[in-house]
Amino acid sequence: MADTISILERLKPINLDAGSVFSGKPSGTSVVGFAKPSVFTPAKDQSYIFHDESRDVAVWFLDQNDPLYVFGPQGSGKTSLVKQIAAMLNYPVFEVTGHNRLEFPELVGHLIVKDGQMSFEYGPLSLAMKYGGLFLLNEIDILDPSTAAGLNGVLDGSPLCVPENNGELIVQHPMFKFVATGNTNGTSDETGLYQGTLRQNSAFMDRFWLVEIGYPKPESEEKLLAKTAPTLPPELRSKMVSYANEVRKLFMANLSKGSETALEVTFSTRTLIRWANLTVKFQPLAWQGLSPINHSLDRAMAFRAIPESRVFLHELLQRFFASDIAPKSNTQK
């Protein structure tokens, strides 16, 4: 803990040019970040693609004091977007994933016994508040609403009282930022997709700036696949993106009609990347008469569908990729 604190105490806030940081072109608008990254700064992901909705989160970083709530479907890039922007500004990030038994000590800290002595160990929220950093609470909509509402004071900018540490009062550092992510907008989930999410207290939700992150546009996902699976032919990557969007469209249509049509699974950006990566890994199967794209689809997502949906997903695949699916003959070896 002493090491953690000395690292955090050495971090120096600095004014940076927002344009240079976010787009490589100076803009004259300043954004406060840190002079250098630390071990708490997320690693930059060179294959990360900033898309249109990324702008909202970047604007929030400019000087927004309200906490931020980022919501959107599974695997659309909410958590990674926040962490990638934090990385550009060298922010230390203290990340926690919500669960329904999460309680305050997990966030604030607790007493530990070390070398026969009791001492207080700061939790992620306390560290971010006291030394300046971004506190990222993922899956916030799974929290028990009364636990979540217990954060209202912090969200309002009030100090945090820590009775276990001799009643220490942690005043919010000017570089403290609070970001929550969730699959719902806090009104709970009517689709049944996000089991475990709960309707949150309205006064709690009222404190946030909200940003919705949907799946990126096809051009962005194509760029993403070009970076993550560069060895796949561009036409194949483009068809994979079209296929993913068709599955999303059919899935949404089924959801809104409340129909009992088979398609109950959808394609996240996470799944799309996995599918492309597996297709590369399974290339050797082509010489054994198997289709890598078909084989990978099951492993990337179709195995979690009910049998009828899986059949449907493969029929659809056939329509999109007829020529690519035809396995190479063994004589081509």
Ligand X SMILES: Nc1ncnc2c1ncn2[C@@H]1O[C@H](COP(=O)(O)OP(=O)(O)OP(=O)(O)O)[C@@H](O)[C@H]1O
Options 79-87, 210-218, 227-235, 289-297: segment touching Mg ion (CB under 5 A): 79-87
Residue 183 contacts Mg ion per CB under 5 A: no
Could you tell me if 28 and 80 are in contact, meaning their C-beta atoms sit under 8 angstroms apart?
Answer: no
Give min distance, CB of 198 to ligand X, in A. 16
Quote the CA–CA distance of 150 and 172 in Å, as a whole number.
Answer: 16
Quote the CA–CA distance of 7 and 38 in Å, as a whole number.
Answer: 8
Give min distance, CB of 183 to ligand X, in A. 5
Q: Decide whether 37 or 182 has the Cβ nearer to ligand X.
A: 182
Residues 138-177 that bind Mg ion (CB under 5 A): 138
Residue 186 contacts ligand X per CB under 6 A: no
Q: Which of 31, 39, 29, 32 is nearest to 8 (CA)?
A: 39
Q: Decide whether 75 or 109 has the Cβ nearer to ligand X.
A: 75
Amino acid, single-letter form, for residue 308: E
Options 77-85, 186-194, 217-225, 285-293: segment touching Mg ion (CB under 5 A): 77-85
Quote the CA–CA distance of 31 and 131 in Å, as a whole number.
Answer: 19
Q: Decide whether 173 or 270 has the Cβ nearer to ligand X.
A: 270
Quote the CA–CA distance of 280 and 282 in Å, as a whole number.
Answer: 6
Quote the CA–CA distance of 160 and 167 in Å, as a whole number.
Answer: 10
**CA angle at residue 192 from 101 to 246, to 5 degrees?**
130
For Mg ion, the binding residue among 41, 54, 76, 79 (CB under 5 A) is: 79
Residue 270 contacts ligand X per CB under 6 A: yes
Quote the CA–CA distance of 17 and 15 in Å, as a whole number.
Answer: 7
Q: Which residue is nearest to ligand X (CB)?
A: 77
Q: Decide whether 79 or 228 has the Cβ nearer to Mg ion.
A: 79
Task: Determine the longest span between alpha carbons in the chain, in angstroms.
Answer: 77
Give min distance, CB of 120 to Mg ion, in A. 30
For ligand X, the binding residue among 40, 48, 69, 251 (CB under 6 A) is: 48
Residue 80 contacts ligand X per CB under 6 A: yes
Helix (H) or strand (E) holding 13: strand 13-17
Q: Decide whether 87 or 273 has the Cβ nearer to ligand X.
A: 273
Quote the CA–CA distance of 273 and 258 in Å, as a whole number.
Answer: 29
For ligand X, the binding residue among 165, 183, 197, 279 (CB under 6 A) is: 183
Residues 114-143 that bind Mg ion (CB under 5 A): 138
Could you tell me if 247 and 261 are in contact, meaning their C-beta atoms sit under 8 angstroms apart?
Answer: no
Going from the C-alpha of 292 to that of each of 224, 237, 285, 296, 311, the distances in angstroms are 20, 13, 6, 6, 17
Options 46-54, 85-93, 112-120, 307-315: segment touching ligand X (CB under 6 A): 46-54
Give min distance, CB of 142 to Mg ion, in A. 11
Residue 76 contacts ligand X per CB under 6 A: yes
Quote the CA–CA distance of 112 and 106 in Å, as a whole number.
Answer: 13
**Tokens 């949404």, residue located:** 252
CA dihedral 77, 82, 88, 90 (to 10 degrees): -140
Q: Decide whether 108 or 305 has the Cβ nearer to ligand X.
A: 305
Residue 197 contacts ligand X per CB under 6 A: no
Residue 147 contacts ligand X per CB under 6 A: no
Q: Decide whether 51 or 177 has the Cβ nearer to ligand X.
A: 51
Residue 269 contacts ligand X per CB under 6 A: yes
Residue 248 contacts ligand X per CB under 6 A: no
- For the record, the structure tokens of 186 come out as 């806090």
Q: Summarize as ranges the residues that interact with ligand X (CB under 6 A).
A: 45, 47-49, 51, 74-80, 138, 181, 183, 216, 224, 269-270, 273
Q: Given the rule CB under 5 A, which residues bind Mg ion?
A: 78-79, 138
